[in-house]
């Protein structure tokens, strides 16, 4: 049906279709050359704007010591300079490339080296690589976003990417001297679990998607369970989303459930930074493994980022094993 619709549109539209907000340089195409750009309406989508902002903030956080400030993804990343610094910082390696390259050939050679290093990291993980030297150097924002999302996921960036971000892309092609345009949908993010490569859905996915009314029942049961133990230390939980985010209650809860005292030098009792909170949650996960539990499906970063689904998974794991512990 999509194909029929597209065929109908092609027949009904004029010979040279109106192009959506095309820049003059974008229309100077060779015969049979094609160029892609994001439809302006998609650029105004709040989820798309959030994705760009989250990635920009993340890059600037990573490169803060390099005194690099990225303001626009396509303008600041196309020549490979910032991508090189970003990858070196994330992977803790040094790439053998010229520091500054002005010529287009030099820039593309640098990009080639940087992207090959990226591919070596991502290929074993089975990522679909939706970018190339030409698309990045051509300031193709869709390709740049695909690359950054893959890097953020691979290096477990301490950020929360908006899920299910899709954009409309205008593809312009020159045929027989005339410009022809078509629209395609491009999915930039799916769910965090899917992007992390954990494809198996569980009861909590179903609960969130189809039975939000039952969610409150599950939350009440888990609050009752954790308070039964934390009350021994005169602690009380009312908000599952926020009160486990710094990892302190998780660590103390593990000590109560397994009946041991956790030395205070092992974790931060009043964590202030994101890293300290991640340390606490990771430490609690280690205690869970020591107690014979499976490795939690959630990432420590997700719990710290107030992701309710991740927090519930961790607590439900504890509940199933320790619900009869007095």
User: Residue 172 is part of a domain; what is its CATH number?
Assistant: 1.10.418.10
> Of 163, 196, 229, which residue is a domain's last?
196
Range of the domain at 106: 29-196
Q: What is the pTM of this model?
A: 0.60
Q: Please, are residues 184 and 171 in contact by the beta-carbon 8 Å criterion?
A: yes
Handedness of CA 250, 203, 307, 304 (dihedral sign): positive
Place of tokens 């990635």: 55
List Cβ<8 Å contacts ≥24 apart for 192-199: 192/160, 192/161, 192/163, 192/302, 192/307, 193/297, 195/149, 195/153, 195/161, 196/153, 196/299, 197/125, 197/126, 198/297
Tokens of 270: 């009043």
SS3 231: helix
Choose the weakest-confidence range: 41-45, 110-114, 193-197, 264-268. 193-197
Q: What residue ranges in the chain does DSSP mark as E strands?
A: 34-38, 166-175, 178-187
- For the record, the structure tokens of 234 come out as 């005169």
The dihedral through the CA atoms of 217, 222, 227, 229 has a sign that is: positive
In the chain, the number of structural domains is: 2
Residues 324 and 326: their CA atoms lie apart, in Å, by 6
| Residue 135 domain flag | yes
CB atoms within 10 A of CB 147: 23
Residue 4 placed within a domain: no
Residues 131, 64 share a domain: yes
pLDDT at 52 over 90: yes
Same domain, residue pair 176 and 230? no
- List pLDDT tens digits, range 64-91: 888 888 999 989 999 888 999 999 998 8
Q: What is the pLDDT of residues 113-137, one digit of tens each?
A: 999 998 888 776 666 778 889 889 8
Residue 30's alpha-carbon distances to 85, 115, 145, 168, in angstroms, are: 34, 27, 26, 24
Residues 186 and 64 in one domain: yes
Distance CA 56, CA 71 (A): 7
Q: Which range has the worst mean pLDDT, 86-100, 120-134, 309-323?
A: 120-134
Q: Are residues 168 and 249 both part of a single domain?
A: no
d(C-alpha 257, C-alpha 323), whole Å: 10
Provide the pLDDT for residue 287.
92
- In-domain check, residue 247: yes
CA distance 86 to 320: 42
Identify the burial level of 177 via C-beta atoms within 10 angstroms of its C-beta, where 0-12 means exposed, 13-18 middle and 19 or more buried.
exposed
CA distance 152 to 16: 40
Domain boundary residue among 146, 165, 196? 196
């Amino acid at each position: 049906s999509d194909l029929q619709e597209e065929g109908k549109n092609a027949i009904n539209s004029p010979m040279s279709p109106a192009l959506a907000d095309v820049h003059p340089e974008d229309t100077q195409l060779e015969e049979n050359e094609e160029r892609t750009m994001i439809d302006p309406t998609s650029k105004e989508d709040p989820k798309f704007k959030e994705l760009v902002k989250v990635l920009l903030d993340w890059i600037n956080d990573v490169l803060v010591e390099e005194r690099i400030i990225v303001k626009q993804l396509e303008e600041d990343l196309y020549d490979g300079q910032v991508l090189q610094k970003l990858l070196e910082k994330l992977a803790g390696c040094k790439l053998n490339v010229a520091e500054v390259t002005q010529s287009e050939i030099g820039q593309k050679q640098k990009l080639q080296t940087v992207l090959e290093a990226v591919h070596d990291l991502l290929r074993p993980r089975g990522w679909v690589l939706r970018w190339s030297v030409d698309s990045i150097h051509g300031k193709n924002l869709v390709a740049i976003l695909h690359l950054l999302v893959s890097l953020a996921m691979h290096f477990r960036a301490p950020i929360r990417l908006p899920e299910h971000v899709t954009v409309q892309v205008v593809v312009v092609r020159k045929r027989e001297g005339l410009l022809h345009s078509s629209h395609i949908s491009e999915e930039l993010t799916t769910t965090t679990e899917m992007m992390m490569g954990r494809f198996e859905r569980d009861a909590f996915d179903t609960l969130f998607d189809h039975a939000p009314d039952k969610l409150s029942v599950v939350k009440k049961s888990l609050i009752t369970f954790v308070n039964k133990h934390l009350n021994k230390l005169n602690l009380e939980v009312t908000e599952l989303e926020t009160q486990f985010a710094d990892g302190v209650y998780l660590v103390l809860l593990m000590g109560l459930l397994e009946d041991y005292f956790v030395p205070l030098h092992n974790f931060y009792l009043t964590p202030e930074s994101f890293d300290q909170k991640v340390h606490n949650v990771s430490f609690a996960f280690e205690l869970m493994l020591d107690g014979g539990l499976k490795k939690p499906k959630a990432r420590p970063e997700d719990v710290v980022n107030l992701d309710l689904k991740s927090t519930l998974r961790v607590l439900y794991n504890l509940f199933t094993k320790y619900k009869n512990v007095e």
